[in-house]
Amino acid sequence: MRLTFLGAAREVTGSSYLLEADGVRFLVDCGLFQGGREARAKNQRAFAFDPRTIDFVILTHAHIDHSGLLPRLVALGFRGVIHATRATCDLLAVMLPDAAHIQEKEAEYANLGRFRRSIDKAAAHGTVPRDTAPLYTVAQAQASLKQLNPVDYDLEIAPHPLVRCTFRDAGHILGSAIVEVWIGDGPRRRKIVFSGDLGQPARPLLRDPTPIDEADYLLVESTYGDRDHKSMEATQDELVTAINDTIERKGGNVVIPAFAVGRTQDMLYLLADLTRQARIPKLSVFVDSPMATAATEITFRHMELLDAETHALMGRHGGAQYFRKLEFVEDVEESKALDRIKGGAVIISASGMCEAGRIKFHLRANLARRESTILITGFQAAGTFGRRLVDGAKQVRLLGEDIPVRADLYTLGGLSAHADRTALLHWLGHFRGKPRRVFVMHGEDAVANGFAAELQTRFGWDATAPGAGQSVVLD
């Protein structure tokens, strides 16, 4: 049995693993690499195998760094079944076409820029610059959805005569799964556990990650394997301060850049809960992201996956009774109208790192206003517009304008969808015996290696952080 680490190996994007045993070949995850030109090149050459030879795919969850190359895999000849939880399949129906739309727009922009730069050279030499093609099109993304097989949690399936697998709740985003895989029969049967991305316990909306107590081989994520998150209590206190200071004292707006899947729904829950506790006033909240609207609708179609506190608070009506107004904005003109509101509005919009989408217009309308507040709720990668704000920029270039930054800025540090170091070690502590080998994945180089060393010391496990493209023979 051979296991190859195709991505998320000493990095945090591109999750994908190839398993080969006794004539069966399958992937666990098929994620997009993210982060600049290097990532684009990785995505172009991602498959060091013929997609037509892959029997099936097991998908842990819908995030694009775990699912975003599925349309390309299908376009290049994969004809097997993609097994994922029901909620994951519903999210993919929205997220993959959206990712394809972004691919098409980026290719269009690249081609326009290349044409402008090379038109004189082309005229002089009689050559025509080659167009950049998108990784995949919207039509190809739609086609890949036809190969999805929705699976219930805790139900064993047999995607191949030699393979059994079960999806367990990972508590990371809606539909996310830890996957237990059994390969072979009789004394040669081996169990491999893929943690996927594990959620942080005792967070809004979702249930805690399911404990797993045994495995022959384990692949575990390590995104925050070197640190702990701010407590939920401290995060709520900071949110209360930001809301009350802006809405009650200054009379301005609160603008919240938020990831459409997961973070937007977290914020709605927290705002409703804090209103119920009378810690903040009833608010006029506008969710201005078609993707976030779709993800919220999907979330409430899967109420059975949410934790008991969310059931009690949100009920069948999404907690609307706790808001003065809760409006999901679809129309572009309605979105533009939000920028004419001078005070009292909470605007939740994508993208979470302020790189694209409607959030840029809301920032342009509010950044220069001392009475408004920008509330950062998630990680801001180096080089992004959101990161420049977090780093204290006094003036920014946005939509062709130079804008002074006068609005207050708050960063909430306790809403990560990933388990922190303490939570990861707690989850791993449920294993009753030593796995034969442990592979630490989905973490930056130093973090993954450091977490592997921690597992060696704490549990006495044979733990390593493999490199990209590395293969290991199991048993």
Domain edges within the chain: 2-227+419-473, 232-411
User: pLDDT-derived band of residue 114, with 50, 70 and 90 as boundaries?
Assistant: low
What is the model's pLDDT at position 359?
94
Spatial separation of the C-alpha atoms in residues 197 and 194, rounded to whole Å:
9
Q: Identity (one letter) of the amino acid at 412?
A: L
Beta-strand pair 2-7/16-21: antiparallel
Is residue 401 over pLDDT 60? yes
Q: Indicate the fold that domain 232-411 takes in CATH.
A: Rossmann fold (3.40.50)
Is the bond preceding residue 222 a cis peptide, omega within 30 degrees?
no
User: pLDDT-derived band of residue 249, with 50, 70 and 90 as boundaries?
Assistant: very high
CA-to-CA separations, 399 to 37, 103, 403, in angstroms, rounded: 22, 21, 10
Domains 2-227+419-473 and 232-411 share a fold: no
User: What average pLDDT does range 116-136 have in this prediction?
Assistant: 65
Q: How many alpha carbons fall within 13 Å on the CB side of residue 436?
A: 10
What is the model's pLDDT at position 287?
96
User: What average pLDDT does range 226-235 have in this prediction?
Assistant: 93
What is the model's pLDDT at position 349?
95
Q: Identity (one letter) of the amino acid at 421?
A: R
What is the per-residue pLDDT across 265-314, written as a single tens digit (0 to 9) for each?
999 999 999 999 999 999 999 999 999 999 999 998 998 999 888 888 87
Secondary-structure class of domain 2-227+419-473 per CATH = alpha beta
| Helix (H) / strand (E) containing 125 | helix 86-125
Is 430 in contact with 211 (CB distance < 8 Å)?
yes
What is the model's pLDDT at position 189?
92
Is residue 128 over pLDDT 60? no
What is the model's pLDDT at position 355?
80
User: What average pLDDT does range 339-349 have in this prediction?
Assistant: 96
What is the model's pLDDT at position 39?
83
